[in-house]
Structure 1
Amino acid sequence: MANIKKLPVTYPMITSWQWHATLFSILSDDENAKKWIFSNYIQLRCYNIQEIFTGDDMLLADIMPGSSSLKECPYLITSIMTKDQIESYTGNIIDFIIKTIDLNGYIYGVFDEARILSDYDVDYKFPHELFIYGYNMDEEVFYVGDFTFKDHYSYNTVSFADIEKGYSVITAGDDHMFKDDYKGTRGLYVIFKNSDTPYYDVDLTFIRDTLREYLNSVDSKNHFRMMRNRFTDTTFGVNVYDRVLNRIYEQMDKDEPDFDIRALHLMYDHKVLMYERIKYLMANGYLDYNEDLIKTYAVVVKNLLAARNLLIKISINGNVSEAQKFKSYFAIAKEKELGVLLEVLAELDRKLS
């Protein structure tokens, strides 16, 4: 066993949720994986849930396949390990993580980051997913990826002792990653990169069909009812623009404005990924090269970035009167996006007919 081992990571293309940042940290630069990535992550959805920390209502927006991507991506081998299995195999969480990394496996799971961040005992918890990709035995630290340590997604180190504390206090009820999908159990994901062999080619038919569902705001969850059927108020596709915009204005109208940026950042990530997809499909001959389409979609990305940054700015200076600008940013982005994607859809229809 080496004293230091770090598995390969690349700063992720999108970072709105930890599950996306984790998958893209592992696979962003992999040419085989790009064929799956750019065939997916097209449909948007959002719905109301209770914030796990405060109990307040929040609008959760995501790009499908969402958190399921860590289990469904053919270029990852993801094993579900319960807490009982972990303790049975190695006796403690530290040895389990080290042995997993020695086997070239990444770790993903919920830890109490209040225990990790504080030098003192605290009487509250902050359960959050953590991505672990390496260790240093000399310094007794793990190499991790997360949002909590800085104001953006970053790679940092966490001591063995803090990882042990952060893991030991999490109950099945705290483990939001497991409790929704695995009936209240507690555990971790062990993830192996599996991209040497091409398992998945660019799927133009799926891209076309999903683009059509996105543009028509089709309820896509019916494709996945074999896995989940919990939500009844989900908004899909381009209609997410209106729901997120309405949510922003609801936030601004409160006596104490709420500056939750997550849904808007997710929308920005969606545009970044769509922009990269269009360029990838053109560069690899799946679409005809069209510089005008690329430049027009860059305007979509620019306006969503401006909207996201405006919400951050208002959260700092408190000047909610600037919120009037959101409507313009959203209107321009939506109009330009519809124009570009309708052209892309028409070309795919021609090529596949």
Structure 2
Amino acid sequence: MTVKILPVEEKQIIDSYWFYSDFYSIISRVDSKKLWFMNNYINLFDIPDPNQLYTFFFNGYYRDKMVEFYDCPFIDFQRIALDRQSSTILNNDLFDFIKASIDGGYYVIVMIDRFHIKEYEISARSPHEVMINGYDDANKKLYFCDNNANGKYSTNITCDYEAFHRAFHILEIDAHDFKDHLYLLKPLENTDYTFSLTYVKNTMNAYLLSKAHTDEHYNQALGTPGLTFGINVYDKASEYLKYLAQEEVVFDIRSFHLLYDHKKCMTMRLNYMINNHHLIDDNQILSRWRKLEATAQAVRNSILKYWLTRSSDTLYKQMEQLQKLKETEKILLQEIVDQLKDG
């Protein structure tokens, strides 16, 4: 076969980080009811870093940020060792392995240095993961998904084999799982997976309690000192903005975009629970939550505006908005939890 392109979903639910976008690009084909999203993307956690804010969704035991790839029942996931020096994978040529994987229905996630690919228009080293979803052997071209030159997630990036080989082979990074491995992901049909109201309610409670889980044995077994969970990530976000106003940390909008994604996911979930009679919207819960979503979006946009104006006043105002958002969300989410029945 000279050309093979696996389908990807262009419109993302979550696009704050590439691995959420890659993930949904794949499972949207086999999880049309979005049940995985309804059950997950409720709790949050923050990884401490002296220079940046790193806030992510918490969907299970912390292996790395891409825990969904390991645990999702709609994904056949494989972690494969590679040799960058010889450009081989399991003793196969790089491109032979990629093409065979694509032919078998597997998407390939691998780290490259995007500096070597002209489509990115990058002038410095840029190690990053990309998800390969197709090839054109006649024109020696690969198709993949990643954040493009404008920082937006794109599902139609291409480059020639020669440039990709350089980007793969010449990768200057410290020890990293993606330096020595790549991931294979294949969507799986799963008719047994269902929405779990009990799990959703417990996870909402954990979020409100700023814990990984409502089960203390689980929390003790987790072994993740230093992480901040749940609604207390707002405090970490405010602290980050204070340091940013003092120019003591690096500007990074992604965690604020994730807070907005978090509200979008909850809007979808509330709508699902109301439509499926798990939740009665007798106090305009959905419309009130949509206001929270709009506020989170406004906070993100204002922080983006700071990058243009460099006005510290903008950041201090958003610190106040974050605290108001936290308190309003806490009251509303507790109201939702109190109404939900175990089921």
Under TM normalisation by the shorter chain, which class is it?
A: 0.7 to 0.9
Structure 1 counterpart of 2:69: 70
- The reply to whether residue 110 of structure 1 matches residue 141 of structure 2 is no
Over 3 Å counting, the alpha-carbon distance change for 1:266 and 1:141 in structure 2 is same
Contact 2:77 2:185 in 1 (8 A): yes
Contact 1:78 1:192 in 2 (8 A): yes
Over 3 Å counting, the alpha-carbon distance change for 1:291 and 1:127 in structure 2 is farther
- Inter-partner Cα distance in structure 2 for 1:64 and 1:161: 38
What's the CA shift for 1:118? Answer: 7.9
Q: What amino acid is aligned across from residue 342 of structure 2 in structure 1?
A: L
Over 3 Å counting, the alpha-carbon distance change for 1:138 and 1:258 in structure 2 is same
- The reply to whether residue 198 of structure 1 matches residue 191 of structure 2 is yes
What's the CA shift for 1:223? Answer: 3.1
**3-state SS of paired residue (1:244):** helix
- Inter-partner Cα distance in structure 1 for 2:220 and 2:117: 37
TM-score scaled by structure 1?
0.84
State the Cα deviation string for residues 128-154 of structure 1 (Å, max 9, x = none).
Answer: 111111223344322221124222212
- Inter-partner Cα distance in structure 2 for 1:341 and 1:331: 15
**3-state SS of paired residue (1:19):** helix
What's the CA shift for 1:170? Answer: 2.9
TM-score scaled by structure 2?
0.87
Q: What amino acid is aligned across from residue 101 of structure 1 in structure 2?
A: I
Structure 2 counterpart of 1:322: 314
- Inter-partner Cα distance in structure 2 for 1:103 and 1:251: 47
Contact 1:259 1:311 in 2 (8 A): no
- Inter-partner Cα distance in structure 2 for 1:121 and 1:35: 38
Contact 1:108 1:129 in 2 (8 A): yes
Over 3 Å counting, the alpha-carbon distance change for 1:204 and 1:27 in structure 2 is same
Over 3 Å counting, the alpha-carbon distance change for 1:283 and 1:142 in structure 2 is farther
> Equivalent pairs: percent with the same residue?
24
Contact 1:110 1:175 in 2 (8 A): no
- Inter-partner Cα distance in structure 2 for 1:225 and 1:17: 28
**3-state SS of paired residue (1:352):** coil
- The reply to whether residue 186 of structure 1 matches residue 180 of structure 2 is yes
The total of aligned residue pairs comes to: 333
Q: What amino acid is aligned across from residue 208 of structure 2 in structure 1?
A: L
Contact 1:127 1:174 in 2 (8 A): no
Which deviates further from its counterpart, 2-11 or 310-319? 2-11
- Inter-partner Cα distance in structure 2 for 1:315 and 1:269: 20
- The reply to whether residue 213 of structure 1 matches residue 206 of structure 2 is yes
Gaps of at least 5 residues in structure 2 are: 60-64
Contact 1:135 1:143 in 2 (8 A): yes
Q: What amino acid is aligned across from residue 7 of structure 1 in structure 2?
A: P
- The reply to whether residue 34 of structure 1 matches residue 34 of structure 2 is yes
Contact 1:75 1:193 in 2 (8 A): yes
Let me know the Cα RMSD of the aligned residues.
Answer: 2.8
- The reply to whether residue 263 of structure 1 matches residue 264 of structure 2 is no
